[in-house]
Homo-oligomer: A and B are copies of this chain.
């Protein structure tokens, strides 16, 4: 089959790789219909962190079950399914506590020894604990299928950030980061009842989506000016809840400073670099909590799926470019250049 492989920074290729097969009774093989490119796929593409020579890549996909191991009881060939970006057994104590990303049996698609999501098929370990079934008729609804794909990562991650930030009915929320995750954070905040949502971003196309997703205000400034603008919009007090969806020192620093005393920063931007942007003295004196991390997307699927199916939330607009699998290198190029927000890959 064909799958995406990263060989070196900037060197993305679609290659012939062995077809996945059921190796363990708990495995399933899923034929991929849709995959996408994540902001975090750009790090190895840009040479940040380790690339690994000839590593498979991509961790978001949905598709059709092709084969199941003898121990898989919840799925059968032909089922339409979505996979969260990490597999997990679904039965251990940590999975039961909702921290599926900490499952000792788990992993993230594309890690050594696993299939990446950007390919024609994926061997899914712990299929019963990992996959979530979708209604069969969704397969013929192009818009819906795209929206459902967002549940594999960005929508669940935005929701995780909103929960970390403590979003509740009536709250004022600020969202730092206008990437797909930040935008899904806006959508999640509105879904959780936020009264006011301030999106920080300077790219009109993205802030337009933010407004469509529920942002009531847009702040184009950065750094000190952004802090001042948010304080001005909030009577000098800052936002009860801040969603940090970037992961740089600067974004964390801004997030903590625009939070209201007693509030919280929900952070899902993977920390970059050695410095953290965390000012513990500020957090202490003002009682600002920091809560987040890698999103247990699997935990949120049962809650978010019905809302996507019935149209209560529609994250599909975060995908603004579609490429075929063979053209995925072009998709990386456009996301890297920020000419695309998030790239959908049809397989």
Chain A positions near chain B (C-beta within 8 angstroms): 93-94, 97-99, 101-102, 164, 237, 261-262, 264, 267, 270-271, 276, 278, 280-281, 283-294, 296
Contacts and interface: CB of A to CB of B under 8 A. Distances in A.
Nearest to A164: B289
A102 B276 contact: no
B296 A271 contact: no
Nearest to A290: B290
Contacts of A101: 285, 287
Contacts of A99: 261-262, 286-287
Contacts of A164: 289
Contacts of A288: 293
Contacts of A261: 94, 99, 102
A321 B164 CA distance: 43
A291 to B, nearest CB: 4
A293 to B, nearest CB: 4
Nearest to A289: B291
Given A287-B292, A290-B290, A291-B291, 9 more contacts: A94-B262, A99-B287, A267-B284, A271-B284, A278-B280, A284-B294, A287-B293, A287-B296, A288-B293
Nearest to A102: B261
A294 B262 CA distance: 10
B294 A290 contact: no
B294 A285 contact: yes
Most buried by B among A99, A261, A294: A261
A181 B175 CA distance: 35
A257 to B, nearest CB: 14
A287 B161 CA distance: 11
A295 to B, nearest CB: 9
A281 B289 CA distance: 16
Contact of A290 (B237, B270, B291): B291
Nearest to A291: B289
A294 B287 contact: yes
B278 A278 contact: yes
B276 A280 contact: yes
A291 B291 CA distance: 8
Contacts of A98: 262
A293 B264 CA distance: 12
